[in-house]
Structure 1
Amino acid sequence: MAALRILHSADWQLGKPFGRFPADVRAALSEARLDAIDRLGSVASSTGASHVVVAGDVFDNVEPGDRIVAQALSRMERAPVTWWLMPGNHDHARAGGLWGRVRSRAPSNVRIVDTAEPVEMEEGAWLLPAPLEHRKTVADPTAAMADMATPPGALRIGLAHGSITEFGASGDAANLIPPDRARTAGLDYLALGDWHGFLKVGDRTAYSGTPETDRFGRDEPGGCIVAGLRSGELPSLERIETGRYRWLSRRWSVANPDELERELAMLRGEGRLPDMLLSLGLSGVASLADRVAILAMLDDRLAHELRHLDLDADGLGVRPTDDDIALIDVQGALARATETLRLRVETGGADAGIAASALERLYVEAMRFEAGAVR
Structure 2
Amino acid sequence: MKIIHTADWQLGKPFGRFAPNVRAALTEARLDAIDQIGKVAIADGAGHVLVAGDVFDNVDPGDRIVMQAMSRMERAPVTWWLMPGNHDHARAGGLWSRARARAPSNVRIVDTPEPVEMAENAWLLPAPLEHRTTVADPTSAMVNMITPPGALRIGLAHGSITEFGATGESSNLIPPDRARSAGLDYLALGDWHGFLTVGDRTAYSGTPEVDRFGREEAGACISASVRSGDAPVLQRTETGRYRWLSRQWDLENTGDLERETAALRAEARLSDVLLSLRLSGVVSLSDRVAMTSAIEDRLAHELRHLDLDAQGLSARPTPEDIARIDVQGALASATDSLRVRAEAGGPDAELAGAALERLYVEAMRLDAEMAR
| Superposed displacement of residue 169, structure 1 | 1.4
Aligned pairs (5 A) from 1:167-178: 167-178=164-175
| Superposed displacement of residue 328, structure 1 | 2.2
- Does 1:195 find its partner at 2:173? no
- Does 1:244 find its partner at 2:241? yes
| Superposed displacement of residue 170, structure 1 | 2.4
Instruction: Please give the per-residue CA displacement for 1:203-250, whole angstroms capped at 9, x wherever unaligned.
Output: 000000000000000100000000001101110000000000110000
Could you tell me which of 259, 262, 265 is aligned with 1:262? 259
Q: For residue 215 of structure 1, what is the aligned residue in structure 2?
A: 212
Q: For residue 38 of structure 2, what is the aligned residue in structure 1?
A: 41
Paired with 1:112 and 1:119, the residues of 2 have a C-alpha distance of 11
Paired with 1:51 and 1:43, the residues of 2 have a C-alpha distance of 11
Paired with 1:332 and 1:372, the residues of 2 have a C-alpha distance of 22
CA RMSD of aligned residues (A): 0.8
How many equivalent residue pairs?
372
| Superposed displacement of residue 332, structure 1 | 3.9
Q: For residue 358 of structure 2, what is the aligned residue in structure 1?
A: 361
- The residue identity in structure 1 corresponding to 2:28 is E
Could you tell me which of 126, 147, 152 is aligned with 2:149? 152
Paired with 2:182 and 2:277, the residues of 1 have a C-alpha distance of 45
Contact 1:282 1:316 in 2 (8 A): yes
- Does 1:28 find its partner at 2:25? yes
- Does 1:309 find its partner at 2:306? yes
- Does 1:77 find its partner at 2:74? yes
Deviation larger for 332-341 or 233-242: 332-341
The alignment partner of 1:117 has SS state of coil
- The residue identity in structure 1 corresponding to 2:224 is A
Q: For residue 100 of structure 1, what is the aligned residue in structure 2?
A: 97
Q: Which runs of 5+ in 1 are unaligned?
A: none
- The residue identity in structure 1 corresponding to 2:134 is T
- Does 1:327 find its partner at 2:324? yes
Paired with 1:70 and 1:242, the residues of 2 have a C-alpha distance of 21
Paired with 2:166 and 2:193, the residues of 1 have a C-alpha distance of 16
Aligned pairs (5 A) from 1:274-289: 274-289=271-286
- The residue identity in structure 1 corresponding to 2:65 is I
| Superposed displacement of residue 103, structure 1 | 0.3
Q: After TM superposition, where is structure 1 displaced by more than 3 Å over at least 4 residues in a row? A: none
Could you tell me which of 9, 12, 25 is aligned with 2:9? 12
Contact 1:329 1:338 in 2 (8 A): no
- The residue identity in structure 2 corresponding to 1:374 is A
Paired with 2:134 and 2:314, the residues of 1 have a C-alpha distance of 48
> What is the TM-score of this pair, normalised by structure 2?
0.99
Q: Which runs of 5+ in 2 are unaligned?
A: none
| Superposed displacement of residue 172, structure 1 | 1.8
Instruction: Please give the per-residue CA displacement for 1:135-161, whole angstroms capped at 9, x wherever unaligned.
Output: 111111111110111110000000000
| Superposed displacement of residue 67, structure 1 | 0.4
Q: For residue 134 of structure 1, what is the aligned residue in structure 2?
A: 131
- The residue identity in structure 1 corresponding to 2:147 is T
- The residue identity in structure 1 corresponding to 2:81 is W
Could you tell me which of 338, 341, 366 is aligned with 1:341? 338
Change over 3 Å in CA distance of 1:248–1:232 after alignment to 2? same
- The residue identity in structure 1 corresponding to 2:173 is L
| Superposed displacement of residue 61, structure 1 | 0.4
The alignment partner of 1:160 has SS state of strand
Paired with 2:103 and 2:82, the residues of 1 have a C-alpha distance of 11
Q: For residue 143 of structure 1, what is the aligned residue in structure 2?
A: 140
Deviation larger for 365-374 or 310-319: 365-374
Instruction: Please give the per-residue CA displacement for 1:80-137, whole angstroms capped at 9, x wherever unaligned.
Output: 1000000000000000000000001100100000000000001110000000011111
- The residue identity in structure 2 corresponding to 1:232 is G
The alignment partner of 2:339 has SS state of helix
> What is the TM-score of this pair, normalised by structure 1?
0.98
Percent identity, aligned pairs only? Answer: 75
The alignment partner of 1:243 has SS state of coil
